[in-house]
Amino acid sequence: MNEVSNMPGTFTKGRKRLDALWQRGSAFLGCDLAIMGGAMTWISERHLVSAISNAGGFGVVACGGMTPDLLKAEIAATMEMTGKPFGVNLITLHPDLDELIDVCSAAHVSHVVLAGGLPSSAAIQKIKDGGAKVICFAPALVLAKKLIRSGVDALVIEGSEAGGHIGPVSTAVLVQEILPHVDAVPVFVAGGIGRGETIASYLEMGAAGVQLGTRLVCADESIAHEKFKKAFIRAPARDAITTVQLNARFPVIPVRALKNEGTEKFMEIQRQTIARFDAGELDQKEAQLVIERFWAGALRRAVIDGDVETGSMMAGQCVGLVTREEPVSDILAELVQQASVLLEGRGA
């Protein structure tokens, strides 16, 4: 048993039931707790990732827009801080995807998570040939089946309650659509998970484990700016809203974040840009670029520089459950305790 299972007040039968429920997920990840850290750009770096893995979970480095050299350095630094398994999240649209995969293979990264679009079969096979297991996001059952046929080793189903770029369907609906029909690979559930009782419930429905992002932002080990953390601690769930598309001619990928001055400015930029397009001042491509460039660098400004007024405050709806700064180990221990208590009661 790991340290969490020996904590005072642990419900033994409930904990044993929890271990049995997520055994497939923990065995797949190579860790004690089948809890993956969500890959959050600028936040999911060496400090938070190693803390998650050292506490018994499974940390995931967010590559984001890193160059191959930067990713190589980040993986090496993370390995210096933990001897436990961790993964790397790669964006499928990254122009250097092949080189980034090579970096992961050379470093013997055990798991690679592909996000940001449907990956090619070639990319999946390249990762597998390099010795890593492949995890992909499945926003619908038909895509889950397609990814399995393409050779992925596990899936993550993430609902619209999550922070950052999201799909249109809630976690509660996705798990009902996908979990009963997918048994070929482990399935991890994400989006809106902030308490252990929810984890236990998804495991009972057939999930192999879960993925958490927002709940870990205010960990002591997170390098997020103090202003960013304080905004999370103050925010209720209703403040985590999605960006709004004003005109179908100019698509906006929905992003869930805390509403702030930047959110209002983005709406105004859309209005002004559409008006300029209608007046013939901009062509379609120019107008789309103006809209898309608005948030360029905004996440870094918020997370690293503490610009919580105009930066992008990406957060999931479970932000209302984030009430204090605390070590990752305490967060995971609390989740395990809550899940164990629930399962103990059901066993009785």
Distance CA 243, CA 166 (A): 10
Domain of residue 283, residue span:
236-314
36 part of a folded domain: yes
> Do 44 and 59 contact (CB within 8 A), yes or no?
yes
Confidence of residue 6 (pLDDT cuts 50, 70, 90): very low
pLDDT in tens, 62-89: 999 999 999 999 999 999 999 999 999 9
**What are the tens digits of pLDDT across the range 308-343?**
999 999 999 999 999 999 999 999 999 999 999 999
Q: Residues 251-263: pLDDT tens digits?
A: 888 999 999 999 9
* Residue 92, φ and ψ in degrees, nearest 5: -60, -25
Do 301 and 331 lie in a common domain? Answer: no
Q: Which residue has the higher pLDDT, 43 or 251?
A: 43
- Whether residues 149 and 204 share a domain: the answer is yes
Is residue 228 included in any domain, yes or no?
Answer: no
Q: Is 38 a domain residue?
A: yes
Q: Which stretch of 6-15, 36-45, 94-103 has the lowest confidence by average pLDDT?
A: 6-15
CATH number at residue 145: 3.20.20.70
Is-contact 328 52, C-beta < 8 A? Answer: yes
Position 152 pLDDT exceeds 70:
yes
170 and 30 both lie in a single domain: yes
CA–CA separation, 28 and 254 (whole Å): 31
How distant, in Å, are the alpha carbons of 27, 34, 166, 190, 223 from that of 268? Answer: 49, 43, 22, 32, 31
Count: domains in the chain: 2
pLDDT bin (cut points 50, 70, 90) of residue 4 is: very low
Q: Are residues 310 and 338 in the same domain?
A: no
pLDDT at res. 3: 43
Q: Is the pLDDT of residue 179 over 90?
A: yes
Do 197 and 286 lie in one domain? The reply is no
Q: Which two tokens stand for residue 67?
A: 């160059």
The verdict on 154 and 53 lying in the same domain is yes
Given this model, what pLDDT does residue 348 score? 53
pLDDT in tens, 211-230: 999 999 999 999 999 999 99
Confidence of residue 5 (pLDDT cuts 50, 70, 90): very low
pLDDT at position 7 over 80: no
* Neighbouring C-alpha atoms within 13 Å toward the C-beta of 17: 23
Mean predicted confidence (pLDDT) in 41-56:
98
Plot region of 33 (φ>0 → left; ψ -120 to 50 → alpha; else → beta): beta
If asked whether residues 58 and 168 sit together in one domain, one would say: yes
State the average pLDDT for the chain.
94
pLDDT surpasses 60 at 290: yes
Confidence tier at 244 by pLDDT (50, 70, 90)? confident
Is residue 121 scored above 50 in pLDDT? Answer: yes
Both 84 and 129 in one domain: the answer is yes
